[in-house]
Amino acid sequence: MVKRAVLTVDKRFVVDQVDRRVYGSFIEHLGRAVYEGIYQPDSPFADEQGFRKDVLDLVKAIHVPIVRYPGGNFVSGYKWEDGIGPKESRPIRAEAAWRVIETNQFGLNEFMDWCKKAHTNPMMAINLGTRGIEEAMDILEYCNFTGGTYWSNLRKKHGYNDPHQIKLWCLGNEMDGAWQIGHKTADEYGRLASETGRAMRQLDPSIELVACGSSNLDMPTFAQWEATVLDHCYDEVDYLSLHQYYANKGDMADFLAGSVGMDAFIQSVATICDYVKAKKRSKKTLHLSFDEWNVWYHSHENDNKLAPWTQAPHQVEDTYTFGDALLAGSLLITLLRHCDRVKVACMAQLVNVIAPIMTSGTGAWRQTIYYPYLHASNYGHGTVLHTLVDCPKYDSQTYGEAPYLDAVAVLNEAACEMTIFAVNKDLMEAMELTCDLRQFEGAQVVEHIVMTSDDLEAVNEEGCERICPVPNGDAAIDGGKLSAVLPKASWNVIRIKL
């Protein structure tokens, strides 16, 4: 029997405005993300600054609002000064986080130029692994001071007369992880984050700061880490970070239930933030920055065999399947459902490294996960409505009870539009979806985009995009009632004109 799902929405029951920064991404000096990804001066696709134009086009189509940079694990050993000034004088370093050679031919100013061309904004991470307060103040002065000081004058000398005005800063990266260069206890990190944040704000009170939460939900110190760190720096920071990657261990239904795990993770971290808020009798509510999320498992075996100390190796390069794209869609839906707390999120990463975009010497192409990201970023604007999903459920090994349907409705009153994003996780059967929209008089379906395949393992390759969306869904509104058939294993975007 065909499964049925009912969505209930009411335009008066809103979660919150979507913060566009929830569609952020990430570029780390890792593998071929920077070199051969966004920057490749000797490529036929390079512009006059060495940026790959084919990549810029694919990035611009997503409308990426922010890009986190330069790491990741890389930032915890990075000297940002290595990447500024004349390229011929920049040092070549042994980069310890990923055990590769870093030429520093791409650095802070190149990144800022690239951001402009990609129509995006920086989310800058500072090194709190090997470095500390002084270097954080230096880079902030270099970037945001107008002039008349040592670092701002140096920026001018480097050809950047106007300050970069970087608003959003990450206080280190995954500082709880034993793999992190200079990793710390929660007390050590909390103190450092607090003092660094305070000093940075003395220089520029307009900036926003992200403190490191746990590296993932499985960290043994999870929850205690968040509580202790925030005990120290609650007043100084604006966001707490969450990171989580999802792996398919051979059970597709379980893998697709990963959105239940993300949902619980967000709720837990929000609860810990509120616990510290209560303890401190604070009036401030801390928001969340889910600044690393994605699917990551395909590349592990290959990476274990990589020889160290090469430059820009094929490292952390996952080739994504159609099944991976379904989970990416469900994760985006989950982030939207929590848009009252999650104000920043970054799909990690953007190009070549666990990325929606891949490059070779002969071109650039879209992986399967590109499309849910593209749709959410292009159509998921406005306010998220509380979206009640009444549908059959299944038992998943890792996450317990999971719904067969993930869905969310986003109302864009300014554009007189509403978009419903939905993933049918049933691998065997289509699902009939209905939703009472009589409240939205005259509402009509503009298009129902569907991405589906009989082959959950199908991948996109250069010159062969097997998986791509098609606007051939049957969603329709009759008498104020929306009905649609969501094919088995499908990503759906139902666009409605109000």
> Is 95 among the residues that bind ligand AHR (CB under 6 A)?
no
Q: Given candidates 226, 238, 292, 317, which one binds ligand AHR under the rule CB under 6 A?
A: 292
> Is 71 among the residues that bind ligand AHR (CB under 6 A)?
yes
Burial label, 460 (beta-carbon count in 10 A; 0-12, 13-18, 19+):
buried
Q: In whole angstroms, what is the distance from residue 186 CA to residue 175 CA? A: 8
Binding mask 340-369 for ligand AHR (x = CB under 6 A): --------xx--------------------
* Positions marked catalytic: 174, 292
- Between 54 and 303, CB nearer to ligand AHR: 303
- Stretch touching ligand AHR by CB under 6 A, among 50-58, 66-74, 191-199, 375-383: 66-74
Residue 350's identity, in one-letter code, is: L
Least distance (Å) between residue 292 CB and ligand AHR: 6
Binding mask 131-160 for ligand AHR (x = CB under 6 A): ------------------------------
- Stretch touching ligand AHR by CB under 6 A, among 69-77, 112-120, 129-137, 254-262: 69-77
Burial label, 153 (beta-carbon count in 10 A; 0-12, 13-18, 19+):
middle
> Is 406 among the residues that bind ligand AHR (CB under 6 A)?
no
Of all residues in this chain, which one has the CB nearest to ligand AHR in the complex? 72
Task: Supply the DSSP symbol for 349.
Answer: -
Least distance (Å) between residue 73 CB and ligand AHR: 4
| 76 backbone dihedrals φ, ψ, rounded to 5° | -75, -5
Least distance (Å) between residue 241 CB and ligand AHR: 10
Show the tokens assigned to 368: 């399967």
- Between 72 and 197, CB nearer to ligand AHR: 72
- Between 295 and 496, CB nearer to ligand AHR: 295
Assign 3-state DSSP to the chain and report helix, strand, coil percentages, each to 5: 30, 30, 45
Binding residues for ligand AHR, total number by CB under 6 A: 9
Q: Which of residues 25-44 bind ligand AHR (CB under 6 A)?
A: 28
- Stretch touching ligand AHR by CB under 6 A, among 65-73, 189-197, 410-418, 419-427: 65-73
Asked whether the beta carbons of 59 and 350 are under 8 A apart, the reply is yes
Look at the alpha carbons of 249, 252, 254, 257 in this order and tell me if their dihedral is positive or negative: positive
- Between 104 and 173, CB nearer to ligand AHR: 173
Q: Given candidates 24, 31, 37, 72, which one binds ligand AHR under the rule CB under 6 A?
A: 72
- Between 367 and 490, CB nearer to ligand AHR: 367
Least distance (Å) between residue 209 CB and ligand AHR: 17
- Stretch touching ligand AHR by CB under 6 A, among 4-12, 71-79, 363-371, 424-432: 71-79
> Is 487 among the residues that bind ligand AHR (CB under 6 A)?
no
- Between 102 and 292, CB nearer to ligand AHR: 292
- Between 73 and 460, CB nearer to ligand AHR: 73
Examine residue 363 and say whether the peptide bond preceding it is cis (omega within 30 degrees of 0). no
E strand intervals along 296-404: 342-348, 357-360, 363-366, 383-385, 388-390, 393-396, 400-403
> Is 174 among the residues that bind ligand AHR (CB under 6 A)?
yes
Residue 39, classed as helix, strand or coil, is strand
Least distance (Å) between residue 170 CB and ligand AHR: 10
Asked whether the beta carbons of 109 and 161 are under 8 A apart, the reply is no
Asked whether the beta carbons of 465 and 366 are under 8 A apart, the reply is yes
Q: In whole angstroms, what is the distance from residue 216 CA to residue 198 CA? A: 26
Q: Given candidates 25, 40, 43, 73, which one binds ligand AHR under the rule CB under 6 A?
A: 73
- Between 72 and 122, CB nearer to ligand AHR: 72
Asked whether the beta carbons of 130 and 181 are under 8 A apart, the reply is yes
Q: In whole angstroms, what is the distance from residue 56 CA to residue 258 CA? A: 31
Which residues, other chains included, contact 32 with Cβ-Cβ below 8 Å and sequence gap of 6+? 312, 313, 314, 315, 317, 351, 352, 353, 359
Binding mask 252-291 for ligand AHR (x = CB under 6 A): ----------------------------------------
Least distance (Å) between residue 172 CB and ligand AHR: 10
* CA distance between the termini of the chain: 33
- Between 193 and 443, CB nearer to ligand AHR: 193
Chain centroid to CA 42: 29
Asked whether the beta carbons of 493 and 419 are under 8 A apart, the reply is yes
Q: In whole angstroms, what is the distance from residue 373 CA to residue 320 CA? A: 13
> Is 173 among the residues that bind ligand AHR (CB under 6 A)?
yes
> Is 102 among the residues that bind ligand AHR (CB under 6 A)?
no
Give the interface with ligand AHR as residue ranges (CB under 6 A): 28, 71-73, 173-174, 292, 348-349
